[in-house]
Amino acid sequence: MSQKRILVIAASESSGETGIEADQKVISAHGCDTLTATTALKPRGPRSKLGIFSPPEAFVKNAVEGCLGGGGVGVVKTGYLASTEIVGIVVEALKRYGPRFVVVDPVIARMPLAQEAVLRITTELLPLTTILTLNIAEALWFARSTKLSWDDMPEHPKQSNDEDLDYLIRLTKALHRLGPQYVLLKGGQLPLTANLEVPESDLDKQVVVNVLYNGTDVSLIKTPYFGKGVPQGADYAVAPAIASNLALGDAVPLATQKACRYAEAGVGKGNGQFNYFHSTYTLPFSPGYFIEYLLNRDDVKPVWHAHVHHDFVKRIGDGTLPAESFRNYLVQDYLFLVQFARAKALGAYKTNSIGDISAGAEETLHIQREMSLHLEYCAEFGLSQEDVEEQEEHQACTAYTRYVLDIAHSESWFALQMAFAPCALGYGIIAKRLWDDPETVKEQENPYWKWIQNYVADDYRAAVEAGEAILEKHAVLQSPSQIESLVKIFVHATKMETGFWDMGSE
């Protein structure tokens, strides 16, 4: 699905806390895409006092028209419109291209703006506006700056007990007369009590009421009051979040309610920073590269290395492994594979996908074929199938197989696949390395050559690749915290593999 595109016409603020940069984070967090027309350039911190820089108006015009003329932009969100001319450019472009939604956050109280620009916003931009979002200070600024006569514009109350819910609603209605389809008045500067009354002390301040009005219906969106330390991003995030929700297809009231919830959640536990990505999952790997990521993790790499570079493996390669060790290992591996086949069969039971069921069944059969190699070797050692099956399981064998079977019972189907993973991946990698390594003693010179051949054979390779495909396909569907617990399973199973080699080396 292509991303929904939103044109942001606003100032660039190098702090990233407001302006285009902040809007872009909000919009990205909603899975939408941002196009920009930069109206002003504001440095961070004390340097901002040295001045806000203005890009040439021709640039702003070209950017706005280029973005809207290029098509695919359904929502325009405006922030700081730095000059009368820029307001004119925006108004002209909106009339020409008629985007579906126009979200206006008129940054008029905290950035310098000519009286004429405010007037032009009021008379020309607001009538083209889908939703005007503003806080109380901005609402009052409009009241002071505009030359319009407002019949029902409430006086700014001098006494705090006039600043009640009714006052907020009257203010919202007054602003609606300026022409936008909706007004959202953000009440963060006027927190109320839990019963929406005027608080008598700071302790009583509990609820922030945001008032949404469309000319007929007033709706109140209540959010908790977090005190004075609320990161400013919480306020600025509402408008771009509305723009995103509109782009994604919500009607204005729902888009607005969800935007207020988004902003509320971003305040989080109050470390002073607004969290834009509170509901965004970031997987630590790119799709298709889970295994590469997994094997390079700091908590996996050394454990994995210990398994695939074990001394037992080296001595299979150079043929110096004592026959006795190999025989003991093979017997235990046969017993291991019996239990592994049980786990594979149980895995097949644990899924509703017929593809995954039959893959599980295939793997079970594949284990049976792998076991015939073990029996061939054992015959050479004078051991029959019955002899092998009579042997007692070594603890390393019991530990590994019952761990996997326990995952099979207590965890998800995919967790079980992660418990299987070190087995196939490891033997695939080990055998290929031994096969390619010029140091490896080959053919008849090496009593274990058949073993190496078995794990580089086409059918084993195909089984490994099928397992890899399963990991890649399902890893991208997990949450980041699930990935962490899955990795732990993989690490533990890998250690069990190493334990198996250790046992063989005894």
The nearest distance, CB 366 to ligand HMH, in angstroms, is: 9
CB 102 within 8 A of CB 78: yes
DSSP of 385-405: HHHHHHSPPPHHHHHHHHHHH
Region near ligand HMH per CB under 6 A, out of 78-86, 146-154, 332-340, 349-357:
332-340
Out of 141, 304, 326, 336, point to the residue binding ligand HMH (CB under 6 A): 336
290 binds ligand HMH (CB under 6 A): no
423 binds ligand HMH (CB under 6 A): yes
Beta strands 33-42 and 5-13, pairing class = parallel
427 binds ligand HMH (CB under 6 A): yes
Spell out the residues 6+ positions from residue 65 whose beta carbon is closer than 8 angstroms to its own.
93, 96, 97
The nearest distance, CB 485 to ligand HMH, in angstroms, is: 22
Q: How many CB atoms lie within 10 A of CB 144?
A: 9
**3-state class of 205 per DSSP?**
coil
Nearer to ligand HMH by C-beta: 79 or 360? 360
The nearest distance, CB 423 to ligand HMH, in angstroms, is: 4
The nearest distance, CB 439 to ligand HMH, in angstroms, is: 23
Nearer to ligand HMH by C-beta: 186 or 366? 366
**Distance of alpha carbon 121 from alpha carbon 88, whole angstroms:** 9
Region near ligand HMH per CB under 6 A, out of 301-309, 330-338, 412-420, 434-442:
330-338
Nearer to ligand HMH by C-beta: 133 or 339? 339
Nearer to ligand HMH by C-beta: 122 or 401? 401
36: which strand partners? 8
* Site size for ligand HMH (CB under 6 A): 8
Nearer to ligand HMH by C-beta: 126 or 493? 493
Region near ligand HMH per CB under 6 A, out of 13-21, 42-50, 121-129, 333-341:
333-341
Of the candidates 69, 1, 65, 10, the residue with the CA atom closest to the CA atom of residue 34: 10
CB 80 within 8 A of CB 40: yes
The nearest distance, CB 387 to ligand HMH, in angstroms, is: 19
- For ligand HMH, the nearest residue by Cβ is 423
**Distance of alpha carbon 232 from alpha carbon 2, whole angstroms:** 31
Nearer to ligand HMH by C-beta: 260 or 430? 430
CB 61 within 8 A of CB 89: yes
Nearer to ligand HMH by C-beta: 243 or 367? 367
H/E element holding 171? helix 165-176
Q: How many CA atoms lie within 13 A of 53 on its CB side?
A: 9
**Distance of alpha carbon 354 from alpha carbon 362, whole angstroms:** 12
The nearest distance, CB 370 to ligand HMH, in angstroms, is: 6
The nearest distance, CB 452 to ligand HMH, in angstroms, is: 13
Nearer to ligand HMH by C-beta: 21 or 497? 497
The nearest distance, CB 447 to ligand HMH, in angstroms, is: 18
Q: Is 342 exposed, middle or buried, given 0-12, 13-18 or 19+ CB atoms closer than 10 A?
A: middle
Region near ligand HMH per CB under 6 A, out of 161-169, 178-186, 329-337, 473-481:
329-337
Nearer to ligand HMH by C-beta: 163 or 333? 333
Out of 262, 497, 503, 504, point to the residue binding ligand HMH (CB under 6 A): 497
The dihedral through the CA atoms of 485, 489, 494, 499 has a sign that is positive
**CA 392 to mean position of chain CA atoms:** 48
Region near ligand HMH per CB under 6 A, out of 67-75, 131-139, 300-308, 331-339:
331-339
Nearer to ligand HMH by C-beta: 27 or 493? 493
Q: How close are the terminal C-alpha atoms of the chain, in Å?
A: 57
Site string for ligand HMH, 141-180 (x = CB under 6 A): ----------------------------------------
Nearer to ligand HMH by C-beta: 153 or 464? 464
The nearest distance, CB 333 to ligand HMH, in angstroms, is: 5
Beta strands in 14-58 (DSSP E): 33-42
**Distance of alpha carbon 249 from alpha carbon 245, whole angstroms:** 6
User: Order of strands across the sheet with 5-13?
Assistant: 33-42, 5-13, 73-78, 101-104, 131-135, 182-186, 207-213, 218-224
**3-state class of 72 per DSSP?**
coil
Out of 13, 235, 333, 363, point to the residue binding ligand HMH (CB under 6 A): 333
CB 59 within 8 A of CB 89: no
* Window 348 to 387, contacts with ligand HMH (CB under 6 A): 370
Site string for ligand HMH, 439-468 (x = CB under 6 A): ------------------------------
Structure tokens at 21: 């940069």
Residues that bind ligand HMH (CB under 6 A): 333, 336-337, 370, 423, 427, 497, 500
